[in-house]
Structure 1
Amino acid sequence: MIERYKSLIDLIRSSSQPAQLLQIHAHLYRASFIHDPYASLCLLTSVARLFHHNLTYLRRIFNLTRNPKLNHYTAIIRAYSNSKFPHEGFKLYREMRQRGISPDALSSSLSTKSCTKMSWLFGGLQLHAKILIDGYQSDSLLLTTLMDFYSICHKSDDACKVFDEMPIRDTISWNVLISCYTRNKRTLDALSAFDTMQSLEFDCKPDQVTCLLALQACTTHSGKLEFGERIHDYIERNGYSSIPNICHALVSMYSRFNRIEKAYKVFTTSANKDLVSWTSIISGFATNGHGKVAIDAFIEMEESGISPDEHAYTAVLSACSRSGLIDEGLMIFDRLLKETIIKPTIHHYGCMVDLLAREGYLKKAYDLILSMQVKPDAKIWRTLLSACRTQNQNHSVIAGNVVEHLVELRARELGDYVLLLNIYSSLGNHDKVEETKAMMGEKGIGLSSDCSTIEVNRKLYEFFADDISHYRKTEVYRMVEEVGQQLRIAGYDGDGFDLHSEKLAIAFGLLSTNPGSTIRVAKNLDVCSDCHSYVKLLSSVYNREIIIRDRTKSHSFWLGRCSCNA
C-alpha cells in the first residue's frame, strides 16, 4: 500500500498532460488516498499547473478536501491570483483566516497580488493592516508585492513609504520602485532612483530589468537623452547589449529623441533581429520622417524571411503617412487587405486617414472612415478634424460632421472644439464661431490654458500663452521680439506676436542653453500652423534643432524642415 501511495505521488508530480492527471485522480479516489492531506495537496498543485484555464475543476478538488491546511489555501489562492477571477483568491484568504488558519508571508503576498490585479485599494489596505498585525513587515518579497499594489492603485507615496520601511532593499525592490515612479508619471524620480541605488549608501547593482525600466522612463520624458546615453554606456559595460528587449528599448529611445542614426547602429549591431527588432527600427524611421528608408527596411525584413504582423504594417503605413508617400501607402494598404490574413485594425485605418488627409484628399479620408471594418474611435476622427484646419480649402462641412461623430462617441475634448473654432474663424464665419462657443457652454467645455514645458539644467520650467509670471519674463519677451525681427528679415509673414506657450518656452531655451544645442519642448495642445511655420524658420535662422512633443505627435525641426513634412 505504501509503495502504491509513493508511486501515485511520483506520478502526480511528473504528470505533464491533463488526461494523465485525470486518470491519476481516479486512482487516488479508488485507493482512498484522496483525503490524505499530502496527496490532495500534490493533486491540487498539479491541477493548478495543468488546468489553469479551468478553475472549476480545481475548485471542486479543493472543496472536497477535508480540513484544508495553509498549503492547500496557498495553492488555490495562487491559481486565482493569476486568473481572471482574482476576487475569489481574496475571498479564500478571508475564509482561511475565519477558519483560524494563520497566513504566512507567501499566502499574504498572493492575496495582495489578487487585490493588485483588481486595482482594489480597500482590499489591499485591509491586507496591509493584517500583514503588520501578523508581523511580516520585514519580509522583502511581501513588501515588494505591497509596493506594486500601491503603484497600480496610483498611490506612489504609499509605495515609497513601504520601500523606505524595508530592512533590505535588493535589486527587485528598486526595480518595483522605478516602475512605480514611471507608471505614476514621476519620471525624474525614476531616473534619480537608478542613480541612487548605485550610490555608496545602497551599493545595489542594476540588472537588465532595471536598465529596461530606466530606458522606458527616459523615453517618456522629453529632455532625458543624455541620461539615456548614460544608461546605454552602463548596458554595454555590463554585457546587456545583446538582450533583445534591451535592444528594442534602445532603438525606441533613440528614435523618440530623433537620434535615428544611433537607433540604426543599435539595430545593425544586434545579433538576433526578430520581428520586434525590425518593427522598432521601421517605426523609428517613420517617426523621424524617413518614409522611403522605412519602406526599404520593411522590404528587407520580408526578404530575410520574417513575415510582417499587424504592428509592422502599422509602422510602415505610419512611415508613408508622415512622409506623404501616398502611392506607396495605398499600395501597401491594398496589399494588407487583399494578400494577407491580417485583419486591418483601427491603427492601419488611422494611418491611411492621416495620409489621405495630409495630401488634401479629405473627402476620400472621410469616406474611408465610414467604410471601415472596425468602429471608428475618437482619435481617427480627430486626425481628420486636424487636417480640416491645416488644408487651405473650405472643409467646414466635413469638420462639422466630424465634430458630430465625436459628440456621438461622447468625446468632448477641448482641442476638438478649438480646431472647429479656428476653421470657422479662418473662413470669417462668425455666426458659426458664436454657435460653437454657445454649444461648448451648454456642454460645460471651457477654454483651458495653452501650456508648454522645457527642461534646462535638470529643472522643469512651465510657460502659458501670454505668460507674464515667469521670473525672467523681461528677458524672455525681449528674446521673442528679437526672434520675430530676425524671422521677418528671413521672410516670415505670420502672426509672430500671437504668443502661444511654445514660443515663450523656445525663447527661454535660446536664452538658457548653449548655441547649437537642441531645445526640447512638451506642449499640452496641438501646435498650430502658424507656430509650426515660425519654429521651422527659427530652426534654420538660429541653427538649432528644436523638438516639440505636442498633444498628438512629435515634431523635429531642423534647418527649416520638420520631421512631419508639413
Structure 2
Amino acid sequence: MLSNDLTGMYAKYGVMDTASLVFDRMTERNVVSWTALMCGQLQSGNARATLSLFFQMVFSCFKPNEYTFSTNFKACGILNALKTGVQIHCMSILSGFESVPVVGNSIVDMYSKCGRIDEAATMFNVLPVKNLVSWNTMLTGYTIAGQGEKVLLLFHRILENGLILDEYTLTAMLKACSCLGKIREGSMIHGFIITGGFPCSEAIELFKQLQNSGMQVDGFVLSSMMGVFADFALVEQGKQVHAYAVKICSGLELSVSNSIIDMYLKCGLLDKAERLFNEMPMRNVVSWTVMITGYGKHGFRKEAIRLFNQMQSNDIEPDGVSYLATLSACSHSGLIQEGEEYFSQLCRNRRIKPRIGHYACMVDLLGRDGRLKEAKDLIESMPLKPNVGIWQTLLSACRVHGNLQLGEEVGKNLLILEGKNPVNYVMISNIYAEAGCWKAFEQVEIDKVVHFFYGGDDTHPMIEKIHDVLEEMEQRMKQELGYVHEVKFALRDIDEESKVESLRAHSEKLAIGLAHLRGGWDERRVIRIFKDLRICGDCDDFVKCLSRIVKVVFVARDANRFHQFKDGLCSCRDYW
C-alpha cells in the first residue's frame, strides 16, 4: 500500500505531523500502518504516544505482529511502565509471538529497564533461540542492576556457545570488570579487543561510551585503553586519555601511571615517559621494568643498566620480567660482560627460575659476539626444552657470522620441531643465499618467499611519485656520502639492478618517501615509522645517511627495538 510507504517514510525521518496526517486519511489500515506510526513516535522520543497507538490498534481489532510488540516493549522500558509491559507480555504469549527472537529479546530488555532483573533472567532462560542480541541484552541488564558477577558468568557462557563478540558485549564486560575490579577478566577482554579482530577505532569508541554512560571510569579501563594506544602507536589518543586520567581519582593509581609510561615508550616518546617516571611518588617493580624495557628498546643501554641497579638499591626485588628486560637491553647493545653477569645473578637467585626467554637472550648475546658454539652448548645444556624461537635466534647468528655448517645443523632442528612453518624455510634459505650457495638455496621449498623478502607494495596511489623521491634521495646520498646499497639483503640470484629495485621497495623506505611528499624536510620535524618486522641492514644504512643530509630525526619501531636516526647515526649502534 502506497499510504503505508508514505507513513513509514515520514515517520522514519521524524516528520510526525505529516506521517499522522497521512495515517488519519487512510481509508484502509493494517498492522504495518499502525506499527510504522508507532516506530516514528518512539524514534521521536514520544514513547507515550507509541503505547496509546498500540491500544487504539488493539481496540480496533488489529492483531499486532512481532515488530509491533518489539516497539512497544521498548516504549515500556523507556517509561518504566512495568504494568503496561506485563499486559503486553501476556498478549504476546496468547498470540504466540513471545518465542520470536526479536520479541523475546525486547521482553528481556523491558524487564531489565523496569528494574525487574529476576523476571528478565527468567524470560532469557526460556528463550527457545538465543542470538548475540539476547546475550547482550541480558549482559546489559545485569550491568545496570550492578550484578557484575552474573555478567562474568554470562560472558563465559557466551564464549562456550562460540558466539562472535561485538562492541555491545565488550562495553558491558568492561563496565562489569570496572565495577568489580576484575583485572584478570578485564585483561581477557582487552585481549579480545586487541587480538580478536576488534577494530581499534571501535575499541576507542568503547571508551567514549563508557565515559558518556556516567559510570566511574576506573584504573583498569584506563590501563586497558593505554594498552590499545600503545599497541597501535596512537600517540594523540594516548595523550588525550592521559589528560583525562589526571583529572580523576583513578588516574592516580599506580597501574595507570605504569600503562601511560608504557604507552609513551612504545610510541617513541621517551622524554615524556622519563618525565612521568621521575614524577611518580611511588613505584613498584612494574614501573621500573617498563622503564628498563623502554630504555633497552630505544638503545639507551647505560640507562637501562643504571635503572636496574638503582631499582635494587631502592630495595625493589627484580622479578623474571625485570631480568628479561635487562638481558634484552644487554644483548641489543653488545654488553657481553654485563649480560653474563646479570644472567649468572639470575641463576643464583633462589626465588626466580630462568625461563626460556632468559636463555634466548643469552643465546642472542653470545651469538652477536660470534660465540656460536657456546650459544649452542647453552641451548643443549639448559634444563628447559628448546623451542623454535631459541633455535631461530641461533640460526640468525649463524647467518650474520657466515657459519653455514652450524646453520645447517640448527636448521635441521628447526624443521624437526616445526617442519610446516614457512618462516623456518625462509631463514634456512637466507643463510644459504648469503653463503653464495644458490643451488642449495633453490632446492628449499618456499613458494611465497619472494613476497617476504623483496615484494614491494605497488598499490598506493602515489607509488610512482614515492619511487621518484627515493631515487632522488639515493642519488644525493651517493654524491654527498658515497652511499651504496647493501645488495646482500636482496637474497636472490638476480642482476644488480633488480636487487636495487627490490631494496627500494622495502616498506620503511616507501613510508619515508610518502612522508616527504606530504610534509617535506622540516628540521624541526620528527618522522615516526612503525614496522612489524625487523629492519634490514640496508634500510638502517639508508635512513642513517638520509638523516645526515636532510637534518631530520627519524624514529623507527621494528619487531625488536626502536631506532632513532639523527645526524647520520642510529641509536642501535648497528646492533639491529
Larger Rg over CA atoms: 2
Matched, 1:184 2:196: yes
Tell me which protein shows more helix as a share of its residues: 2
3-state SS of 1:360 partner? coil
The Cα of 1:246 is off from its aligned counterpart by 0.6
The structure 1 residue matched to 2:439, chosen from 431, 446, 462, is 431
The Cα of 1:335 is off from its aligned counterpart by 2.0
What's the counterpart of residue 456 of structure 1? none
The Cα of 1:339 is off from its aligned counterpart by 5.1
3-state SS of 1:272 partner? coil
Residue pair 1:521, 1:547 contacting (<8 A) in 2 also: yes
Q: Deviations over 1:325-346 (max 9, x none)?
A: 1111111112222354422111
Hey, what's the Cα distance between the residues in 1 that align with 2:348 and 2:259? Answer: 33
3-state SS of 2:529 partner? strand
Cα distance change of structure 1 residues 230 and 152 upon mapping to structure 2, 3 Å threshold: farther
3-state SS of 1:449 partner? helix
What's the counterpart of residue 84 of structure 1? none
What's the counterpart of residue 279 of structure 1? 289
Hey, what's the Cα distance between the residues in 2 that align with 1:163 and 1:310? Answer: 32
Q: Which moved more, 1:359-368 or 1:409-418?
A: 409-418
Hey, what's the Cα distance between the residues in 2 that align with 1:478 and 1:149? Answer: 56
What's the counterpart of residue 40 of structure 1? none
Cα distance change of structure 1 residues 237 and 448 upon mapping to structure 2, 3 Å threshold: farther
Hey, what's the Cα distance between the residues in 1 that align with 2:547 and 2:159? Answer: 40
Amino acid at match of 1:484: E
What's the counterpart of residue 356 of structure 2? 346
What's the counterpart of residue 458 of structure 2? 468
Hey, what's the Cα distance between the residues in 2 that align with 1:107 and 1:310? Answer: 48
3-state SS of 1:470 partner? coil
Cα distance change of structure 1 residues 259 and 551 upon mapping to structure 2, 3 Å threshold: closer
Q: Deviations over 1:357-392 (max 9, x none)?
A: 222222222222122221111111222222233x3x
Amino acid at match of 2:465: E
Residue pair 1:285, 1:293 contacting (<8 A) in 2 also: yes
Hey, what's the Cα distance between the residues in 2 that align with 1:280 and 1:487? Answer: 38
Residue pair 1:321, 1:354 contacting (<8 A) in 2 also: yes
Hey, what's the Cα distance between the residues in 1 that align with 2:541 and 2:419? Answer: 29
Hey, what's the Cα distance between the residues in 2 that align with 1:261 and 1:152? Answer: 45
What's the counterpart of residue 549 of structure 2? 541
Matched, 1:227 2:229: no
Q: Deviations over 1:266-323 (max 9, x none)?
A: 2222222122222222222112111121111111111111222222111211111121
What do you get for the CA RMSD once the two structures are aligned?
Answer: 3.8
What's the counterpart of residue 159 of structure 1? 166
Cα distance change of structure 1 residues 280 and 343 upon mapping to structure 2, 3 Å threshold: same
Hey, what's the Cα distance between the residues in 1 that align with 2:135 and 2:202? Answer: 31
Hey, what's the Cα distance between the residues in 2 that align with 1:260 and 1:350? Answer: 26
Residue pair 1:523, 1:551 contacting (<8 A) in 2 also: yes
The Cα of 1:127 is off from its aligned counterpart by 8.6
Residue pair 1:282, 1:316 contacting (<8 A) in 2 also: yes
Hey, what's the Cα distance between the residues in 2 that align with 1:153 and 1:552? Answer: 38
TM-score, normalising length: structure 1:
0.66
Residue pair 1:394, 1:427 contacting (<8 A) in 2 also: yes
Residue pair 2:388, 2:417 contacting (<8 A) in 1 also: yes
Hey, what's the Cα distance between the residues in 2 that align with 1:368 and 1:203? Answer: 56
Amino acid at match of 1:159: D
The Cα of 1:240 is off from its aligned counterpart by 3.7
3-state SS of 1:237 partner? coil
Hey, what's the Cα distance between the residues in 1 that align with 2:539 and 2:151? Answer: 49
The Cα of 1:217 is off from its aligned counterpart by 0.2
Matched, 1:194 2:184: no
Residue pair 2:264, 2:270 contacting (<8 A) in 1 also: yes
The Cα of 1:424 is off from its aligned counterpart by 1.8
Residue pair 1:108, 1:127 contacting (<8 A) in 2 also: no
Matched, 1:505 2:511: yes
Matched, 1:481 2:471: yes
Residue pair 1:171, 1:207 contacting (<8 A) in 2 also: no
Matched, 1:493 2:484: yes
Cα distance change of structure 1 residues 325 and 384 upon mapping to structure 2, 3 Å threshold: same
Residue pair 2:288, 2:307 contacting (<8 A) in 1 also: yes
Cα distance change of structure 1 residues 418 and 545 upon mapping to structure 2, 3 Å threshold: farther
Cα distance change of structure 1 residues 195 and 370 upon mapping to structure 2, 3 Å threshold: same
Mapping of residues 66-465 of structure 1, within 5 Å = 128=130, 132=134, 136=138, 139-141=141-143, 158-160=165-167, 180-185=192-197, 186-195=199-208, 197-198=210-211, 206-222=217-233, 224-338=234-348, 340-389=350-399, 391=400, 393-410=401-418, 412-437=420-445, 440=446, 446-447=448-449, 449-450=451-452, 465=455
The Cα of 1:354 is off from its aligned counterpart by 1.3
Q: Deviations over 1:62-118 (max 9, x none)?
A: xxxxxxxxxxxxxxxxxxxxxxxxxxxxxxxxxxxxxxxx98767999x9xxxxxxx
Amino acid at match of 2:448: G
Amino acid at match of 1:481: E
Amino acid at match of 1:194: F
Amino acid at match of 1:429: C
Amino acid at match of 2:332: R
Amino acid at match of 2:343: F
The Cα of 1:232 is off from its aligned counterpart by 1.2
Hey, what's the Cα distance between the residues in 2 that align with 1:329 and 1:372? Answer: 17
Cα distance change of structure 1 residues 236 and 378 upon mapping to structure 2, 3 Å threshold: same
The Cα of 1:524 is off from its aligned counterpart by 4.5
The Cα of 1:132 is off from its aligned counterpart by 4.3
Residue pair 2:366, 2:375 contacting (<8 A) in 1 also: yes
The Cα of 1:219 is off from its aligned counterpart by 0.9
Q: Is there any run of 5+ residues in structure 2 with no aligned partner, and where?
A: 1-116, 144-149, 180-185, 488-499
TM-score, normalising length: structure 2:
0.64
Cα distance change of structure 1 residues 126 and 524 upon mapping to structure 2, 3 Å threshold: farther
What's the counterpart of residue 80 of structure 2? none
3-state SS of 1:520 partner? strand
The Cα of 1:259 is off from its aligned counterpart by 2.1
The Cα of 1:234 is off from its aligned counterpart by 1.1
Hey, what's the Cα distance between the residues in 2 that align with 1:155 and 1:503? Answer: 41
Matched, 1:527 2:518: no
Cα distance change of structure 1 residues 172 and 344 upon mapping to structure 2, 3 Å threshold: closer
